[in-house]
Amino acid sequence: MSRIYNFSAGPAVLPEEVLKTAADEMLDFKDSGMSVMEMSHRGKEFKEIIETAEADLRELMNIPDNYKVLFLQGGASLQFAMIPLNLMIQNKKADYIHTGQWTKKAISEAKKYGTVNVIATSEADNYTYIPEPDPASFSKDADYFYIASNNTIYGTRYTDIPDTGDVPLVADMSSNILSEPVDVKKFGVIFAGAQKNIGPAGLTIVIIRDDLIGKAPDNTPSMLNYATHANAGSMYNTPPCYAIYIAGLVFKWIKGKGGMETIKKNNIEKAQILYDYIDSSALFKSPVKKKDRSLMNVPFVCGDKELDAKFIEEASKLGLKSLKGHRTVGGMRASIYNAMPLSGVKTLVAFMQEFEKNNT
Amino acid sequence: MSRIYNFSAGPAVLPEEVLKTAADEMLDFKDSGMSVMEMSHRGKEFKEIIETAEADLRELMNIPDNYKVLFLQGGASLQFAMIPLNLMIQNKKADYIHTGQWTKKAISEAKKYGTVNVIATSEADNYTYIPEPDPASFSKDADYFYIASNNTIYGTRYTDIPDTGDVPLVADMSSNILSEPVDVKKFGVIFAGAQKNIGPAGLTIVIIRDDLIGKAPDNTPSMLNYATHANAGSMYNTPPCYAIYIAGLVFKWIKGKGGMETIKKNNIEKAQILYDYIDSSALFKSPVKKKDRSLMNVPFVCGDKELDAKFIEEASKLGLKSLKGHRTVGGMRASIYNAMPLSGVKTLVAFMQEFEKNNT
């Protein structure tokens, strides 16, 4: 089969150029006579891979010098525990904005270690918008303030980042990291599972301000203590080397495209084409409040389960894959991460138009 | 450069056939139109990958039905914490045999959660042998008994597995899993980082007896609770999909070779050639007690730092790479995992003979 248009929510489409490089270098990375999978993480070849990946990410995201970049394992799910274990220390309380299944898991995990104030949620409306609580309601003595900047399942994203003052802001950016520029200085911690916009599953990126490292109590598992990894340059133990290599290729690819401003422009263009058609359609609807719509995950429904199933089946035959929506939302979802080409979105919209014509 | 002979201790050499398959399938896995890195972990393609990998591993290791096979992240270093967090429950104590740097880390981690009895160690002799303590010294009320079945740095391995009776035996098999048949029934838990005999770094295999799952207290981080992963078939969150795929290819490769008995025969042959030469040499010596010598990691020293450096440099020029010994042992170390071909060992020994002739 030729390459499909893969609208999977994650793991997700990667740039074809990156995969071609990975295939070419699989048996012999840059005349080393080894695959990247085979090389010692302490050797000079891998040292250059991880250092270049970090430098490129720092450049792309304009990460200030007083932040560490950590290459970890365990996904966002492990961060749900690491955040409170490392940060819920002083007053043992934190504020959370609850915007879906992933913040629910993060809240549940944090409650093991202290008091969680859910200061706002869109749960009653099936998370179709981002709540905007009055900053007066924020806990002044919270150890941190937690958000998920993009909600993969519901297709929402923060367009205004809450101003939490001196309380460190923690963001799960798993599904929108590197999709548009962010002002890292506004955050205490940014974390992201790699498997959407960065690379293969099994790598977790953590960007953490120096003063938030080193607070975890002594009985914290070493591997769950940010200080362990920060002090060892992410090499306390063997890191997920191959995933870091692919992430590095993706960072180079983004730089080659022109960096974050170009990526943002491309992402807005792709999302706009899809949202514009959905908003003009008599068949398809977006469940999401306009202001809060994600650039990465676009759910759409036609309100008829049989028609949904028919759409997904016919789309699949045309090579438009993984369009089934999450069971809690229903309908369809097109995840259009950085690596989804414009042609994929145009092909999808052309099919939606055709489908609408044939089914109304 | 053509492929080298890679004697790295880990990450380490992988079968060339596996890498070729991975390269071939990189842009299009079995007509799916996707790379394995790009596919949803919930999709039918990946479901088949992970289920086949588990089935093949169960067949190769003859794993009884009352054991779960888990595909996790975090390496042995995370298991050092997960073992006590999940098992050091009833009497909050465990017996450890201390045989090197990795058991030291495991002991240090376990001490956070209970009482560790180090019932034997070869530390005074720089871990050059496996201690054989009198079973009468084993704690009858230990929650578990812990060993590292092969010690990568020192080149030692257990040839007799301690009989711990009703106390569950836990083994870190990171550097010798799948190198020879083991009787899984003797163990409560076997774990291994993948990056030596299984596949890329970033995947950890845990084989755990059912009755040892579900003991962890409620405040255990969900990701560190074996029950979380056992109940979800290793799919509680996105697993390290690509590493699991490569591991599956390695399992198929071992099956294609004839399974564990053939692998053991091959490994004994390779190790024997190397040890026989070392024992006959006037220049090189093995620091390890004969009975306890590893089939996977073969340290050898010539007792002269300049000569060591010269050996490593000249070997490297011939494509015999990563032969430098660990700093705590000095000299050289040849790691000859399953994927190291016989020709690699023969080429190494031929060079050692030549080097000895030219330098004595």
Give the pLDDT confidence score for residue A101 in this predicted structure: 97
Of A257, A284, A305, which residue constitutes the final position of a domain?
A: A257
* pLDDT, average across residues B89-117: 98
CA distance B81 to B114: 11
Give the pLDDT confidence score for residue B1 in this predicted structure: 60
Could you confirm whether A196 is annotated as catalytic? Answer: yes
In a domain, A234, yes or no: yes
Of A222, A257, A292, which residue constitutes the final position of a domain?
A: A257
Give the pLDDT confidence score for residue A2 in this predicted structure: 86
* pLDDT, average across residues A78-105: 98
3-state secondary structure chain A: CCCCEECCCCCCCCCHHHHHHHHHCCCCCCCCCCCHHHCCCCCHHHHHHHHHHHHHHHHHHCCCCCEEEEEECCHHHHHHHHHHHHHCCCCCEEEEEECCHHHHHHHHHHCCCCEEEEEEECHHHCCCCCCCCCHHHCCCCCCEEEEECEECCCCEECCCCCCCCCCCEEEECCCCCCCCCCCHHHCCEEEEECCCCCCCCCCEEEEEEHHHCCCCCCCCCHHHCHHHHHHCCCCCCCCCHHHHHHHHHHHHHHHHHCCHHHHHHHHHHHHHHHHHHHHHCCCCECCCCHHHECCCEEEEECCCHHHHHHHHHHHHHCCEECCECCCCCCCEEEECCCCCCHHHHHHHHHHHHHHHHHCC
pLDDT band for position A360 (50/70/90)?
Answer: confident
In a domain, B270, yes or no: yes
pLDDT band for position B151 (50/70/90)?
Answer: very high
Q: Are residues B197 and B323 in the same domain?
A: no
Provide the number of structural domains found in chain A. Answer: 2
Give the pLDDT confidence score for residue A1 in this predicted structure: 60
> For residue A253, which amino acid is it?
W
**Touching B: A residues 250-309, CB under 8 Å:** none
User: What CATH number did the domain enclosing A278 receive?
Assistant: 3.90.1150.10
- Contact of B321 with chain A, judged by CB distance below 8 Å, is answered with yes
* pLDDT, average across residues A338-350: 98
Q: Are residues A251 and A262 in the same domain?
A: no
In a domain, B1, yes or no: no
pLDDT, tens digit (0-9, with 9 covering 90-100), for B47-62: 999 999 999 999 999 9
Give the pLDDT confidence score for residue B360 in this predicted structure: 87
Of B228, B257, B286, which residue constitutes the final position of a domain?
A: B257
Q: Are residues B193 and B277 in the same domain?
A: no
- Whether the pLDDT of residue A149 is over 90: the answer is yes
Q: Are residues B207 and B75 in the same domain?
A: yes
In a domain, B106, yes or no: yes
Q: Is the dihedral of CA A191, A193, A199, A205 positive or negative?
A: positive
pLDDT, tens digit (0-9, with 9 covering 90-100), for A154-203: 999 999 999 999 999 999 999 999 999 999 999 999 999 999 999 999 99
Q: Are residues A65 and A209 in the same domain?
A: yes
Q: Which residues on chain A are in Cβ contact (under 8 Å) with B35?
A: 14, 19
Interface test with A, best of B13, B24, B34 (most A CBs within 10 A): B34
Q: Are residues A265 and A319 in the same domain?
A: yes
* pLDDT, average across residues B100-122: 98
* pLDDT, average across residues B302-329: 95
In a domain, A290, yes or no: yes
* pLDDT, average across residues B125-150: 97
Q: Are residues A107 and A168 in the same domain?
A: yes
pLDDT band for position B2 (50/70/90)?
Answer: confident
Interchain contact, B112 vs A40, CB within 8 Å: no
* Phi and psi torsions of A129, nearest 5°: -150, 170
Q: Are residues A268 and A243 in the same domain?
A: no
Q: Are residues A175 and A42 in the same domain?
A: yes
Which one from B68, B196, B270, B324 is the annotated catalytic residue?
Answer: B196
* pLDDT, average across residues B61-65: 98
Q: Are residues A304 and A350 in the same domain?
A: yes
Q: Are residues B82 and B137 in the same domain?
A: yes
In a domain, A104, yes or no: yes
Question: Which of A38, A40, A81 is closest, CB to CB, to B222?
Answer: A81
Give the pLDDT confidence score for residue A319 in this predicted structure: 96
* pLDDT, average across residues A302-317: 95
pLDDT band for position B246 (50/70/90)?
Answer: very high
Q: Are residues B189 and B268 in the same domain?
A: no
Give the pLDDT confidence score for residue A164 in this predicted structure: 97
- Whether the pLDDT of residue B350 is over 80: the answer is yes
In a domain, B9, yes or no: no
User: What CATH number did the domain enclosing B164 receive?
Assistant: 3.40.640.10
- Nearest-Cα distance to chain A for B49, in Å, is 15
Interface test with A, best of B37, B79, B318 (most A CBs within 10 A): B37
In a domain, A1, yes or no: no
Interchain contact, A43 vs B8, CB within 8 Å: yes
* pLDDT, average across residues A33-56: 97
Range of the domain at A20: 16-257
